[in-house]
Structure 1
Amino acid sequence: MSGTIVVGVDGSGTAMKAAESARDLAVALGASLHVVSAFDEDHVEVHGNGSDQLVMNGADVAEHLVQTAAKSLGRGLTVTSSTVPGKPAAVLVEEAARMDARIIVVGNRRMRGIGRVLGSIANSVAHNAPCDVYIANTYDAE
């Protein structure tokens, strides 16, 4: 199999564990990996204090996340990345359609207990994906 596998990152340990599963799957299947991060356009982070402040908007933070993840995942593998404003589940589905992806990899975080009732990214992606969805076990990541 060739094609593209899409995975999202958000800076959490569970998302990185899902990304590592996506990398392993891409290597095993001879596919490329596309790392995506969704962001809120209104989000701003301020680091430091006084005159030594660094202000980053949501796009900057997302770009840092995908670049860091792509660098750590990309050994011996074709890895691309993108940042897209919007909700994580919708962004994953949109990017998978845009990339004509074969598989979206998501973690199973929030698929138990109250998160299962209220919904999860994995659940939303599984119901709306234009391709196969692989749900990686990420419960022991954080």
Structure 2
Amino acid sequence: MYEKILVPTDGSETAEKAVEHALDLAEQYGAEVHALYVLDTNAMSLSLGGEQLDRIEQGNYGEMDEVRERADSATGFVADRAAERGLEVVEHVSAGRPHSMIANYADKNGIDLVVMGSHGRSGVKRALLGSVTERTLRSTSVPILVVDSN
């Protein structure tokens, strides 16, 4: 049923819960797991200049080693947990609008299922911050399993 499962991760506790669900499904179906970390360039554009953002979008983090470390740690968590179960993971880091990058990755890589966490924001926080999960649901036709933070 599922041959390729994508787990977008930001390294949060909520994302880690989604990882467990994704790995359970991958074990059950013998699926390949993909871990994706998206550096949100919209959020960073407030503090970075255009030239820095261009370099990051091209994968050149330069002096932004801490960003790369955070990304590697998030996808590495998925890979480590998968290795404990005898599963291999394709790790990928990209930069852009998270929901668009998740949808694009899923389309380009033949993903059958996306498993992602939802931070469970509501009301004003959701209106101000938006929801990557909600936007991803609207951006792709790939089935998405949403794991709640609670």
Instruction: Determine if the TM-score, normalized by the shorter chain, exceeds 0.5.
Output: yes
**Cα distance in 2 for residues equivalent to 1:36 and 1:106:** 10
Aligned pair partner of 2:149 in 135, 138, 142: 138
Cross-structure match for 1:110: 120
In the alignment, is residue 56 of structure 1 matched against residue 69 of structure 2?
A: no
> Partner of 1:47 in structure 2?
none
TM-score by length of 1: 0.77
More strand by share: 1
TM-score by length of 2: 0.73
Say whether the 8 Å CA contact 1:40–1:58 is kept in structure 2: no
Q: Which moved more, 1:33-42 or 1:89-98?
A: 33-42
Q: CA deviation at 1:31?
A: 1.2
Q: Distance in 1 between matches of 2:119 and 2:70?
A: 22
Q: Which ranges of structure 1 fall in alignment gaps of 5 or more residues?
A: 45-53
Q: Deviations over 1:27-61 (max 9, x none)?
A: 222211100101156679xxxxxxxxx96253343
- The match for 1:19 is 19
1:84/1:91 contact within 8 Å kept: yes
Which residue of structure 2 lines up, in the alignment, with residue 48 of structure 1? none
What secondary structure, in the 3-state scheme, does the structure 2 residue paired with 1:77 have? Answer: coil
1:93 and 2:93 are equivalent in the alignment: no
Displacement of 1:110 in angstroms is 3.3
Equivalent pair of 2:10/2:71 in contact (CA under 8 Å):
yes
Which amino acid in the other structure matches residue 73 of structure 1?
A: A
Give the Cα separation in 2 of the matches to 1:81 and 1:59: 13
1:5 to 1:87, Cα distance in 2 relative to 1, 3 A? same
Which residues of structure 2 form unaligned runs of 5+?
53-62
Match in the other structure for 2:57: none
Which 10-residue stretch deviates more, 15-24 or 66-75?
A: 66-75
Q: Which has the larger share of helix?
A: 2
How many residue pairs are counted as aligned between the two chains? 130
Partner of 1:121 in structure 2?
132
Q: Is the 2:40–2:98 contact (alpha carbons within 8 Å) kept by the matching residues of 1?
A: no
CA–CA separation in structure 1 for the residues paired with 2:148 and 2:40: 26
Percent identical across equivalent pairs? 27
Counterparts of 1:79 and 1:39, CA distance in 2: 19
Which residue pairs with 1:81 in the alignment?
Answer: 91
